[in-house]
Amino acid sequence: MAKKKTFGLVAAIIILAAMAAVVLIAFSGSLTPYVTLAEARQKGTTVQVAGVPDFASQRYEEGTNDFLFEMTDHVGESVTVRFQGAKPSNFDEAENVVVIGKHSGTEFVSRKMLVKCPSKYQAGGGGK
Amino acid sequence: MNVWNLALAAAFIAAAASGAFYVMAGNISRHGDPSALSPVKSRDRARNIAMARAMMGTSFALVAVASAGLLSMFLRHDFRFEYVANNSSRGLDNIYLVSAFWAGQEGSLLLWALFSGFFGCMLMLTAKKNEESSMPWYALAHLMILAVTLRMSPFTMLAEPAADGIGLNPLLMNPWMAIHPPVIFAGYAAIAAPYALAMGALVRKDYHGWVPVATWWNLLAWLLLGAGIMIGARWAYAVLGWGGYWGWDPVENASLVPWIFGGALLHTFLSQKARGKMVRTNIALSVVTYLLIAYGTFLTRSGVLSDFSVHSFSDLGLSSYLLLFILLIGAPALVLYLARFKDMTAARKYEEVYERWTSRDFGVFIGASVLLASGLITLLGTSAPILTGTVGEAQAVDTSFYNITNYPLGILIAVIMGAFPMFRWGMDMLRSAKAGLIASFALAAAVTAGIMLTGAGGAAYLAFMFASLFGFFSNLYMFAKVLRNGIRHVGGYMTHLGVALVFAGIIATAGWAVSERAMVPIGGSVEVAGLTVEASSPVTSQDGNTVHVPLKLYKDGTLFQEGSPYMQMTRMNSILHGPMIHSSLTEDIYISPLTLEGSSSGMSTLPGKKMEIGKGQTVASGGFEVSFSTFDLTEMSLGKVGAGVKVAEEGTVLFDGKLFISVAGTGGDESYAVFQSKEGRYVLTLESINASSGKVFMDLAKASEEKSASGGSFLIEVSRKPFVSLLWIGAILITLGTAIATVKRFMEAK
């Protein structure tokens, strides 16, 4: 009987440890770090890349209706971003954008984009 | 401090007094049998209890008076109050004047305080012998909510009353959103009851007497929180237009995690009632579930996640209050729990507790474990920015984390939920349960095979679907069996049926929905996802904020649905994509409007006049007098800064209100107002604000009236979602089933 209990306990600990390990691996794999395009290419996982869009290059691709544009990251490298969604309403005013997605082939494929516009508000002594 | 804030402060003092009288009553009775006290002591105790009850009642009454006051301010358009001016306007429908009450942070906290007071009174009348031991803890929780409400009072007055309010956020002008916050906050308030009862049990050293009362309270809280979550999901689906119902956003998770923990607690309570087991688990879970409410409130309202959540609030100076909340709930609980740990024992002596694994005992143990694992993992993901922030740059997890980790747990939950209700407590019932199990298994296999025949694929989806169907059929079997004993016994099985249907709906939409984006030429049509979609010219609303695009949907050449998905500028300067949904039992056709391309959508303007106006100044321009009164920094926390602006033409006021721009520059288009002058429609745009020089920069332009009759195209996303209906039917069954169970356990506790 005692033997059986020890066996059960050991089995439970092993199962729990394995589950915890799987969760932690999934957790660290799901973090979306800010990286450069070179790092994004190397990693191949979901990441966030900040960059400046080339507004002249923006277009909808026929057929897929993906929104494509060229973007240059902070170290000067450029890539075509394939945004699988509609162009954000404030895209044309963007100072820079953050695209969240993966590098795939020759493109950066993204489903989520944050647009950073120049602030229209300058804080100071005014107001309240 | 005005009279309303005084009422809230008095409610705070009354709640503190109530707690103190309860502590004194407890000191007299030593939490023993009151009938064993001497007559003098018995009288003293009774006096203290009467005072404590009166004080709790007073606290609730004062919050109720303050709430009624706020409601009447909304109904009377009393724009002396900042909160009323910021969340409503004269043109708002009455129903939304009511729901504007909880449209903002301040009002929703007051609503929470109101429910907290109400449930406090309800708990003191139903707690019985647990009253004097548990009510001080309830009073503590109630005090914390009142403190936060006082800190963020909705009764702040403006220096001078506004002529009209800014209006209600259009996102909230929806029946689902009108009822979502009250239900959620009622749930938040009710979860304090099992917490207080558990603390009372630790104080009393009676680890079993609190369980019957706490069981129905936990069911009530679970019912409310669950209904609130599901209403929120329905709202996201019907209003937000991104096609989904759940986004794993921190604000959503902050309610989901305590709901999952509360769900585990429902089951472990049953184990203690039936078998006297899981004593320590129940006390710990009751406290932790409430702590998760406090922690979730901290996550979403302290500003720690403002970079990571779309609807999280920025820091409003609440973080220290909320951390104190967590500490005051958590620390005494931990100390008492450790002190009583050895003392908390099962009601009976069991040997080989989990030997008979074909018993409900084992089912509750394993089921609760899986639920807790799911809750903890979701909590881990939600806390990722805080965890990673302590070691480096704060990072959120991708939402795929939640799907990947919860997928195997979901299958386990469906299987456990299917198998164990067939067994009984403490008995090996495999032989008698065999027939039902095999039948459920066979039916699930047959339906899964049927689904495969329709061409739906994906082993992962099919496996989950099979498990859900097994859970569905076995609970249907039990439901039918137990129904013979009376409807009041079917609650649990009905809830399980609902969960199985929700799972099936999730799998069907996640696995087998098809979605395609299409450019529909205005005035023309396009084939997409097996349908023909025809678009006519967009229609712009009078205020210039909303563009409707009339669509016609054809299937096999027959028109089956007409509608107008719309895009609307919200107060936050983001765009609301109002979907068009064609619902049926087997399939929803969901059309999200994405953008209008290459057409002068909305309002186009002729070149305008730029102007720079200092605070308190008036500038004359093109026959108008434009004045800028004052900055409005009240919504700074929401990332917005406003300016009070007035436009007049020959003494007639054409516009008097506030324009807001986003501080961080993440908002989008400028904030503007459209008004009608003698010469046509004009658009006044707030372009920027310079607070240090006290100036605003604006643009005044005439609206060009020509409509984009042709040209341009409408980018839409068309999704065909099979069996979304199961999700909503399941949600209704969960709510109904839990309601039945709540009534049953309430009757038992009487």
Question: What is the distance in angstroms between the Cα of A105 and the nearest Cα belonging to chain B?
Answer: 21
Look at residue B664 in the predicted model and tell me its pLDDT.
58
- Any idea which residue has 């043109």 for tokens? B91
* B594·A85 Cβ contact <8 A: yes
Sequence-distant (≥ 6) Cβ neighbours of residue B168 within 8 angstroms: B87, B88, B89, B92, B96, B99, B100, B103
Tokens of B478: 């039990």
Of A89, A123, A128, the CB nearest to B668: A89
Chain-chain contact of A30 with B404 (C-beta, under 8 angstroms): yes
Query: Could you give the CA distance from residue B78 to residue B158 in angstroms, rounded to a whole number?
Result: 11
- Say yes or no to pLDDT of B31 above 80: yes
Q: Is B317 exposed, middle or buried (0-12, 13-18, 19+ CB in 10 A)?
A: exposed
pLDDT value at residue B315 = 53
Q: Taking CB atoms and an 8 Å cutoff, what residues of chain B touch A93?
A: 668
**pLDDT at A127 > cutoff 80:** no
- For residue range B333-342, list pLDDT tens digits in order: 999 999 999 9
pLDDT range class, residue B706, cuts 50, 70, 90: very low
Structure token digits, residue B630 = 């004052």
* A3 close contact with B: CB closer than 8 A: no
Neighbouring residues of B402: CB distance < 8 A, sequence distance ≥ 6? B248, B377, B378, B381
Query: In chain B, helix, strand, coil percent, each to 5?
Result: 55, 20, 25
What Cα–Cα distance (Å) separates residue B249 from each residue in A100, B321, B398? 16, 23, 10
Decide the pairing of beta strands B566-569 and B546-548: antiparallel
pTM: 0.86
Predicted local confidence at residue A47, as pLDDT: 87
A64 pLDDT more than 90:
no
Q: In this predicted model, what pLDDT tens digit does every residue of B217-238 receive, in sequence order?
A: 999 999 999 999 999 999 999 9
Least confident interval from B274-278, B294-298, B407-411, B658-662:
B658-662
Query: Which of B386, B412, B689 should we substitute to test contact with A (largest number of A Cβ atoms within 10 Å)?
Result: B689
pLDDT attached to residue A122: 54
DSSP class of residue B185? H
H or E segment to which residue B90 belongs: none
CA distances from B428 to A86, B236, B322, B362, B457 (A): 58, 45, 48, 11, 38
Give the neighbor-by-neighbor strand order of the sheet with B640-649.
B618-621, B624-632, B640-649, B652-662
Say if residue B316's pLDDT is above 60.
no
The answer to whether B250 and B299 have CB atoms below 8 angstroms apart is yes
Write the DSSP symbol of residue B277: -
Instruction: Kindly determine whether residue B665 and residue A122, on different chains, have CB atoms separated by under 8 Å.
Output: no
Q: What number is the average pLDDT over the span A57-61?
A: 88
What is the C-alpha separation between B669 and B739, in angstroms, rounded? Answer: 46
The confidence score (pLDDT) of residue B600 equals 44
Residue B621 half-sphere exposure toward CB, CA atoms < 13 A: 20
Does pLDDT of B44 surpass 60? Answer: yes
Q: Which residues make Cβ contacts (< 8 Å) with residue B137, sequence separation at least 6?
A: B195, B196, B199, B200
The rounded distance, in Å, linking the Cα atoms of B521 and B596 is 10
Is residue B171's pLDDT more than 70?
yes
Backbone angles phi, psi at B374, to 5 degrees: -60, -45
The whole-number average pLDDT for the span B49-78 is 97
Given pLDDT bands bounded at 50, 70 and 90, which one contains residue B319? confident
Q: Regarding beta strands A96-104 and A107-116, do their DSSP bridges make them parallel or antiparallel, or are they unpaired?
A: antiparallel
- A121 against A21, higher pLDDT: A21
Q: Given pLDDT bands bounded at 50, 70 and 90, which one contains residue B639?
A: low
The per-residue pLDDT for range B301-314, each reduced to its tens digit, is 876 766 655 444 45
The per-residue pLDDT for range B351-361, each reduced to its tens digit, is 555 557 788 88
How far, in whole angstroms, is CA A64 from its chain's centroid?
A: 21
Residue burial B198-229, b: 16+ Cβ < 10 Å; e: rest: bbbbbbbebbbbbbbbbbbbbbbbbbbbbbbb
126-185 of B, contacting A, C-beta below 8 A: none
Two structure tokens written together for B103: 């449209």
Encode pLDDT of B395-437 as tens digits.
888 888 999 999 999 999 999 999 999 988 877 677 888 899 9
CB contact under 8 A, B665 and A88: no
CA distance B707 to B567: 16
CB contact under 8 A, A46 and B693: no
Structure tokens at B555: 């299937």
Cβ A111 vs Cβ A91: under 8 Å: no
- Asked if the C-beta of A95 comes within 8 angstroms of chain B's C-beta atoms, the answer is yes
Torsion region of B530: left, alpha or beta (phi above 0 gives left; psi -120 to 50 gives alpha): left
Question: Span A17-34, mean pLDDT?
Answer: 86
Q: Name the pLDDT band for B635 (thresholds 50, 70, 90).
A: low
% of chain B exceeding 70 in pLDDT: 91
Distances (CA, A) of A106 to A62, A68, A72: 18, 13, 14
Region B486-511: mean pLDDT is 96
- Would you call B61 an interface residue with chain A, using a CB distance cutoff of 8 Å? no
Lowest-pLDDT range, B265-274, B558-567, B701-710, B719-728?
A: B701-710
Q: Number of A:B CB contacts under 8 A?
A: 119
Strand partners, A69: A81
pLDDT, position B144: 95
Structure confidence at residue B547 (pLDDT):
87
CB contact A105 to B (< 8 Å): no
pLDDT computed for residue B607 by the predictor: 63
Measured CA to CA, the distance from residue B302 to residue B254 in angstroms comes to: 13
DSSP state of B240: I
Tens digits of per-residue pLDDT, B425-470?
A: 877 677 888 899 999 999 999 999 999 999 888 899 999 999 999 9
The stretch B204-220 carries a mean pLDDT of 96
What crossing angle do the helices spanning B105-126 and B3-29 adopt, rounded to 10°? 30
Tokens for B405, please give them: 């980790």
A2 shares contact with chain B (CB less than 8 Å): no
**pLDDT tens-digit map of B523-563:** 899 999 899 999 998 888 777 778 899 999 999 989 999 99
Q: Residues B478, B432: contact at Cβ < 8 Å?
A: no
Where is pLDDT greater, at B584 or B670? B584
Helix axes B360-382, B384-391, angle to 10 degrees: 50
Q: If you average pLDDT over residues A75-92, what whole number do you get?
A: 86
Q: How far is A126 from chain B (nearest CA, A)?
A: 4
Q: Is the pLDDT of residue A30 over 50?
A: yes
Torsion sign (Cα): B56, B59, B62, B64 = negative
Q: Is ipTM beyond 0.85? A: no
3-class DSSP string for B685-701: EEEEEECCCCEEEEEEE
3-class DSSP state for residue B508? helix
- Number of continuous H segments (helices) and E segments (strands) in chain B: 19, 21
State the pLDDT at residue B426.
Answer: 78
Sequential DSSP letters for B541-597: -TTSSEEE--EEEEETTEEEEEE--EEEE-TTS-EEEE-EEEE-SSEEEEEEEEEEE
Please tell me the predicted confidence (pLDDT) of residue B310: 46
* Average pLDDT of span B599-610: 57
Residue of B384, B517, B687 lying closest to A31 (CB–CB): B384
Mean pLDDT of chain A: 82
Instruction: Please check the confidence at residue A119 and state whether its pLDDT lies above 80.
Output: no
DSSP summary character for residue B236: I
Cβ(B4)–Cβ(B42) below 8 Å? no
d(CA B204, CA A100): 54
